[in-house]
Amino acid sequence: MYNILRKLYSQYLKFKFRKLGVFDNSVDFSKHTSLKLIDGSRKDDIVIGSKCRIYCSLITQSGGKIFIEDNVKIGHHSIIGSVKNILIKKGTAIADGVKIFDNNNHPIHPEDRLKMYNSPWDSPYRKWKFSVSKPIIIGENVWIGQGVRINKGVTIGDNSIIASGAIVTKDVPANAIAAGNPAKIVKTDIQNEPRTL
């Protein structure tokens, strides 16, 4: 019974989100999912591949792109925010409470921040386009642990793991584990680790 109700609710969410992103009927959403198009962003700025499970918030401002390939899972209370370009490749698993932003959110210069903070909530100066932004690429079969933040400009190579709680400010190569704040590489060549399955 629970599974039937869950599927019906997921169908309702697909109906609700159909004007806010591009996805097919195999995608699963939950009550925690939200898709937001702000400051001129359009439906085709959020593209979600087949068989994805998207339980997070996807936010695009000013035409920022969020492209998620097939079979990606993103957990509850995670937020992906784009004003530039975020690509998440196939088979990647992103845990709960992860934040991925391709921009600084706020300007760096103190006078610019004052101007932003003194502007009303609906002012254009509140938008991410006035902060530094750089594209993010997350490779195939990456595993991002709980509570991670990935900052602008980062590329994460295929098969790598980001340890829970890490703040990633620099690129991570393929088949590596990165941990800490700021994240450092703590293990490489994990394709040579013993198999446990």
**Residues 124/83, Cβ–Cβ less than 8 Å:** no
Residue nearest to ligand COA (CB): 169
- CA 81, 76, 90, 40 dihedral sign is negative
To ligand COA, the closest distance from the beta carbon of 6 in angstroms equals 32
Give the interface size with ligand COA as a residue count (CB under 6 A).
Answer: 11
Among 18, 152, 138, 28, smallest CA distance to 84 is for 152
Catalytic (active site) residue 106: yes
Q: List, in sequence order, every residue forming a beta bridge with 74; answer none if it has no partner.
A: 54, 94
Among 33, 127, 42, smallest CA distance to 79 is for 33
**Residues 135/153, Cβ–Cβ less than 8 Å:** yes
To ligand COA, the closest distance from the beta carbon of 48 in angstroms equals 24
To ligand COA, the closest distance from the beta carbon of 163 in angstroms equals 14
- Any contact of residue 116 with ligand COA (CB under 6 A)? no
- Any contact of residue 108 with ligand COA (CB under 6 A)? yes
- Any contact of residue 169 with ligand COA (CB under 6 A)? yes
Q: List, in sequence order, every residue forming a beta bridge with 53; answer none if it has no partner.
A: 28, 73
CA distance 86 to 100: 8
Task: Identify which of residues 50 and 105 has a Cβ nearer to ligand COA in the complex.
Answer: 105
- Any contact of residue 167 with ligand COA (CB under 6 A)? yes
- Any contact of residue 104 with ligand COA (CB under 6 A)? yes
- Any contact of residue 124 with ligand COA (CB under 6 A)? no
> Which residues are catalytically annotated?
106
> Site residues (CB under 6 A) for ligand COA?
104-106, 108, 132, 151, 167, 169-170, 181-182
